[in-house]
Amino acid sequence: MDYNTIWIKTDYTILSSLIKIDDLISTLKDKNAKFAFICDDNLFGAMEFYTKCIKEGIKPIIGLEVRLDYTLLLYAKNYHGYQNLCNISTLINEGKLTEELLIKFLSDLVIVIPYEYKEKKDILSSYSNSVFIGYKNIDEKNNINENKIYINKTLCLKKETQKYLKYLYKIKDEDFTLENVSLEFSKSLFDINEINSIAGLCDLVIPKRDDLLPVYNTDASFDKEKYLTDLCVVGLRKRLSDKVPIKYMERLKYELSIIIKMGFCNYFLVVWDYVKYAKKNNIMVGPGRGSAASSLVSYCLGITDIDPLKYDLLFERFLNPDRVTMPDIDIDF
């Protein structure tokens, strides 16, 4: 089997492939591959594939198999192209994809049209300047003048494991006939120059974002630290019937200082907001569980209903500056 083909399906295409992303990348690394393709019928494995390829110094090329009344293989040239793939994948998952919607998202994509649907080339070339015809045998290859690429579904990494695909298909479709499948790969048709021509068009860089937390209030004058502090003070007085021992105030000040220092005010405000909404709209909310129950701030805000000081629960188990990770408030609705 050759692993630098453009139509490698992983086990994210459910019950259709034996290829795991870790195994694929390990194999490619052993072969000193410079790039790698995947092309599933979804994007569920895209980020795993991308991050693991980058870690190993392999250029990731992410594709999406699209089926209407014809089949297309679409590959992201860049981040905008990847966003277009995400839009197309969403439409597929929602059962809303049409050709009319598809053509809105074809920019910055390499389009590969299987030979049997080659009449679509003239239409699709209006929306992308990178359209190829995919062939599966020598007759098809000889009938294509330019921009051609050998396409085969690569579904396993070792020839000796190929036989197990038949049983995978049988699980997927009980009416499947075990002998009714051919998975041969033609070495004589494979052309590395064709592969390189598509790989050269793709240079996907997915930017890392550190600003994914929702913002409770986008008004420039909004002081989230003060707002959170005021909510907690009012909440604590309500919880303790205006009789607040000094140890509670000291604990509250300590927790707020850590939350503010670590930049998680918005997180607590957003969680407080949807828990408050649930309680006001007769949606049952659990009393709190896990490490979040050790937070007095959560108790003051009504996110949890457990007094952490009463049970000597340690806030540091939930959040502390030496554990630079997101807070994790488990809530049952």
SS (HEC) of the chain = CCCCCCCECCCCCCCCCCCCHHHHHHHHHHCCCCEEEEEECCCCCHHHHHHHHHHCCCEEEEEEEEECCCEEEEEECCHHHHHHHHHHHHHHHCCCCCHHHHHHHCCCEEEEEEHHHHHHHHHHCCCCCCEEEEECCHHHHHCCCCCEEECCCECCCCHHHCCHHHHHHHHHCCCCCCCCCCCCCCCCCCCHHHHHHHHCCCCCCCCCCCCCCCCCCCCCCCCHHHHHHHHHHHHHHHHCCCCCCHHHHHHHHHHHHHHHHHCCHHHHHHHHHHHHHHHHCCCCCCCCEHHHHHCHHHHHHCCCCCCCCCCCCCHHHCCCCCCCCCCCCECCC
Q: How much is the pLDDT for 176? A: 67
141: pLDDT confidence band, cut at 50, 70 and 90? Answer: very high
Query: Can you tell me the distance from the alpha carbon of 45 to that of 21, in angstroms, rounded to the nearest whole number?
Result: 8
CB count within 10 Å of CB 39 equals 24
Query: Can you tell me the distance from the alpha carbon of 193 to that of 29, in angstroms, rounded to the nearest whole number?
Result: 20
Query: Can you tell me the distance from the alpha carbon of 147 to that of 145, in angstroms, rounded to the nearest whole number?
Result: 7
For residues 208 and 44, which has the higher predicted lDDT (pLDDT)? Answer: 44
C-alpha separations of 247 from 63, 146, 173, 235, 237 in Å: 58, 78, 65, 16, 13
pLDDT at residue 108 above 70? yes
Half-sphere exposure of 240 (CA within 13 A, CB side): 20
Query: Can you tell me the distance from the alpha carbon of 126 to that of 204, in angstroms, rounded to the nearest whole number?
Result: 23
pLDDT tens per residue, range 255-298 = 999 999 999 999 999 999 999 999 999 999 999 889 999 999 99
pLDDT tens per residue, range 154-202 = 888 888 888 888 888 888 877 766 555 555 555 667 788 999 999 999 9
Query: Can you tell me the distance from the alpha carbon of 298 to that of 236, in angstroms, rounded to the nearest whole number?
Result: 10
For residues 3 and 328, which has the higher predicted lDDT (pLDDT)? Answer: 328
6: pLDDT confidence band, cut at 50, 70 and 90? Answer: very high
Mean pLDDT score of the chain, rounded to an integer? 91
> What's the whole-model pTM score?
0.71
Q: What is the mean pLDDT of residues 97-121?
A: 96
Q: What is the mean pLDDT of residues 95-114?
A: 96
Q: How much is the pLDDT for 178? A: 54
pLDDT at residue 79 above 90? yes
Q: How much is the pLDDT for 188? A: 63
At position 185, the amino acid (one-letter code) is F
Query: Can you tell me the distance from the alpha carbon of 232 to that of 212, in angstroms, rounded to the nearest whole number?
Result: 25
pLDDT at residue 249 above 60? yes
